[in-house]
Structure 1
Amino acid sequence: MLTSLLTTTITLLSLAGATPVPQTAQQLSRAKAYQLQIQLLDPTKDLDPSVAGSFIGTVHVGAGQNVAVAGSHNASGTPFYTNGTVADGYVDVLNDLGTQYPWGFKVQDRDSSDATYPGEHDVEIDVGGGTNGVSLVTNAEDVRLGGLSAGYYAVCDRFIGYVRGNLTVVKYVYEGETLPEGCVGIKFVPLCAELNTLPEGSEWTHDFVQEVDCVVPS
């Protein structure tokens, strides 16, 4: 009898251990602004120091030009927003960066690449409009920042001549391409935020900002 009870207990424990741990679904809402948080596509692969859970940031690399990087682990600064409408024929992702004009999220197309690292597609946040067609994509209960076409974002440890040092820069890897060395695949998850107020004398407007799906910050 004792042997039977022990066997049953061990069997139940084995079954319990084999049961997959359910993943917490994103709690979605809608807002006119969002902070872009980095989540690893493969939790076992990261850079050192870790970029998991950090937010996109910018580093100045020229007049009106910023390279997109893995930034602070705290959501701070002005948020991003999706601007324009499909009906108008132009949709992009912008950030005011606390200035009087917008800064656009730009992704190199498949046929363009970094001059120093051929085959790698850069992501920049430059003054003016962003790349047409880059916007948030919602599938089932998952929402993330999309690209120009199928693929995924990555963060790479790269030497940037302008700053004379290495940065954890954002790249885009198109479908069929191989993730370069020194990089980790990521996705940008939009955390709902409050749209900032434009500074006085701004040369821009928020009249065409879309309300979009976003993730409620935990």
Structure 2
Amino acid sequence: MLTSLLTSLTLLALAGATPVPQTAQQLSRAKAYQLQIQLLDPTKDLEPSIAGTYIGTIHVGAGLNVAVAGGRNVSGDTPFYTNGTAAEGYVDVLNDLGTAYPWGIKVQDQNSSDATYPGEHDVEIDVGGGSNGLGLVTDGGEVTLGGLAAGNYAVCNRFNGYVRANLTMVKYVYEGETLPDGCVGIEFVPLCAELNTLPEGSEWTHDFVQEVDCVVPA
């Protein structure tokens, strides 16, 4: 009985120290994608659950949006796309958000952090270009949204003074940093989508959109 109990506890300890395997991805190629949240550890989630939701935006000022864990249905939403090339010296991830301008994903670097929550690196989706070098990363047959350096994304329950409410805000945790309290580790899985047509009168172009690896929606 004691041996059985010790064996069970040992297996649980090993399970807690081992990355939780995820369902294998079926990859394809497309010029656009929706960014779906996948928990790094399915046993660690927020309440209500953010598993399977998509990245969304909350307006916090002129041309400024914080990235948040959004809804479960992206039907009709404009997708993200990878814009530019390394040869041109700039690559970022954009979304038109149904407007005449691009909105880019911006991730704070290791030397910058949230004014209210020092040490936490914010993720925003603001008008104009995104963080240079941000893009999708394919590794071992899986594709996810990469960061500016090694690390992983997280979603945290945080109070935002502009909207005066608690939000499920997206953050980035660099390698060597500790996941803050009230947060769960995630990755963004790009689900293949169709690139939207720019609205009439748009001051933007899709001429430099890349075709990238993405995951075939289930």
| TM-score for both structures, normalised by structure 2 | 0.89
Gaps of 5+ in 2: 1-20
Shift in Å at residue 25 of structure 1?
Answer: 1.4
CA distance in 2, matches of 1:189, 1:107: 17
Shift in Å at residue 24 of structure 1?
Answer: 3.4
Q: Quote the residue 2:149 is aligned against.
A: 149
SS in 2 for 1:87: helix
SS in 2 for 1:132: coil
Aligned counterparts, 1:18-97, within 5 A: 24-76=23-75, 77-97=77-97
CA distance in 2, matches of 1:150, 1:24: 23
Q: Quote the residue 2:3 is aligned against.
A: none
Q: Quote the residue 1:8 is aligned against.
A: none
Aligned counterparts, 1:146-185, within 5 A: 146-185=146-185
SS in 1 for 2:152: strand
Shift in Å at residue 23 of structure 1?
Answer: 5.4
Please say if 1:214 is aligned against 2:210: no
Q: Quote the residue 1:140 is aligned against.
A: 140
Shift in Å at residue 140 of structure 1?
Answer: 1.6
CA distance in 1, matches of 2:23, 2:40: 15
Which amino acid is 1:68 matched to? A
SS in 1 for 2:191: strand
Greater Rg, structure 1 or structure 2?
Answer: 1
Deviation digits for residues 9-52 of structure 1, max 9, x if unmatched? xxxxxxxxxxxxx8531000000000000000000000000000
CA distance in 2, matches of 1:30, 1:58: 26
**Aligned residues between the structures:** 197
CA distance in 2, matches of 1:46, 1:196: 32
CA distance in 2, matches of 1:144, 1:210: 15
Shift in Å at residue 74 of structure 1?
Answer: 1.2
Shift in Å at residue 90 of structure 1?
Answer: 0.4
Gaps of 5+ in 1: 1-21
RMSD: 0.8
| TM-score for both structures, normalised by structure 1 | 0.89
CA distance in 1, matches of 2:23, 2:150: 25
Question: Sequence identity of aligned pairs in percent?
Answer: 83
CA distance in 2, matches of 1:200, 1:35: 23
CA distance in 1, matches of 2:134, 2:183: 22
CA distance in 1, matches of 2:22, 2:178: 28
SS in 2 for 1:168: strand
CA distance in 1, matches of 2:151, 2:22: 23
Structure 1 pair 78–46 and aligned structure 2 pair: CA distance change class (3 A)? same
CA distance in 2, matches of 1:146, 1:27: 19
SS in 2 for 1:57: strand
